[in-house]
Structure formats: structure tokens, C-alpha cells
Amino acid sequence: MSEKIFLASTNAGKRAEFAALLAAHGLELGPAIEYPEVEESAADYLGNAALKAEALQHELRSRGIAAIVLADDSGLEIDALAGAPGIRSARYGGAELSWPQRRALILAELARVPDASRTATFHCALVAIDDAGNRYRGLGETRGCIVRGERGEGGFGYDPLFLPEGQSRTYAEASAAEKAITSHRARALQALVAAMH
């Protein structure tokens, strides 16, 4: 099966990760398409992913393109912070903060939290809509912990802070292939592809 899928994201790191994950399933990532920014106002990850998928599909249709669209909403939930940053992961501390500032804020908030209590879960919700309007979803999660300082140059978002269970390297230290083994996105995509067949 070789099909082009348009991803509701212009984030270079996320697009690169999805390109590799999709290729493993015989799927091709389409070019980045600008679409009107969506207010992520849903109550959960699936709802926000659906909002983004709908917005991208509307934009593609306005250009006369019929294709499968894919959107994700992901979040890091830290137990010691009562599940924060959670659904507001990309806007934690304020939309004006940079990713390094967000990571610094998390580390500051966890400064006095002992190692055993620094547990966290990465969540990913995926929604795909095909050109006939059928909807599919996939959910994935990965347990791990938050390290005491940024580690690694790869990845994006909170990757330098997250150490998956049973691993010795953060997502930012791991290769793309290593990350895919435990990735919440890889698990969500596997569930999504199964739902589409």
C-alpha cells in the first residue's frame, strides 16, 4: 500500500518523525500545507487532533485535493505536577514561551521532587480522515520519568527531559529508530493503521 498522507503540522521535528513512522507502514508523507491555525479548545487529545484534521481537510478541499489527512495531539503528563502540562503541553507557561523556556520551567517545578516521584507519561492521539469522510483514530502512550537536566540534542519539545521506562537514553539522545521502539506516536500510529484496515 503506498498512499500519500497529509499531516496537520508544519513542525519540522514532528514531520520528520512521522515521515519515518509512516514509511514503515508503506505510507508517504505529503508536502507541508499551511492551514488556518486552530484553537485547540477540545477537552482531550482526541478532540484537539480532530479539530486539526478537519481544518487541514477543509484547506485541501479548497485547493481541490482529495487525500487522507492525519493530525495528532500529544502531551506530557507528569505525576508530581498533577498531570501537567498535559493537554496544554505546547502552551505550558504561556504561548509566548520558547521550548527551552518550557523545559526550564518544568525542571524548576520538579527541582525538589525525588527521583522516584518524577514519573511521567507521554500521550498521543491520532485522527485520520479519508477523502470519503471516514474517521479513524489511534491512541498510544509511553511511561517514563523526567531527568534532572536536559540530555541530548535530537528530538523536539520535551524529548530532552523524558527517559522512557527501561531505557538509558532520553528521547533526545536516542536515534530516530530507537525512539520509534517505545514512542507514543509509533504506538498510536500502529493502532490507527490497524483501524484503517
Indicate which CATH number applies to the domain containing 38: 3.90.950.10
| Catalytic residue of the set 44, 73, 130, 131 | 73
Tally of domains in the chain? 1
Three-state secondary-structure class, residue 80: helix
Residue found under cell 530507537? 178
pTM (global) more than 0.85: yes
Range of the domain at 171: 3-196
Amino acid at the residue 172: A
Q: Please give the pLDDT value at position 91.
A: 92
Q: What angle do CA 133, 136, 140 make, to 5 degrees?
A: 155
Mind listing the pLDDT tens digit of every residue in the chain (197 residues)? 347 899 999 888 889 999 999 999 999 999 999 998 898 889 999 999 999 999 999 999 999 999 999 999 999 999 999 999 999 999 999 989 999 999 999 999 999 999 999 999 999 999 999 989 999 999 999 999 999 999 999 989 999 999 999 999 999 999 988 998 889 999 999 999 999 98
Name the DSSP class of 88. G
Rounded Cα distance between 173 and 161, Å, is 10
- Bridge partners of 162? 146
Q: Please give the pLDDT value at position 1.
A: 37
Among 111, 103, 109, 95, residue whose Cα is nearest residue 37 = 95
Q: Is the peptide bond before 85 cis (omega within 30 degrees of 0)?
A: yes
73 catalytic? Reply is yes
Residue found under cell 498521543? 124
Q: Please give the pLDDT value at position 59.
A: 95
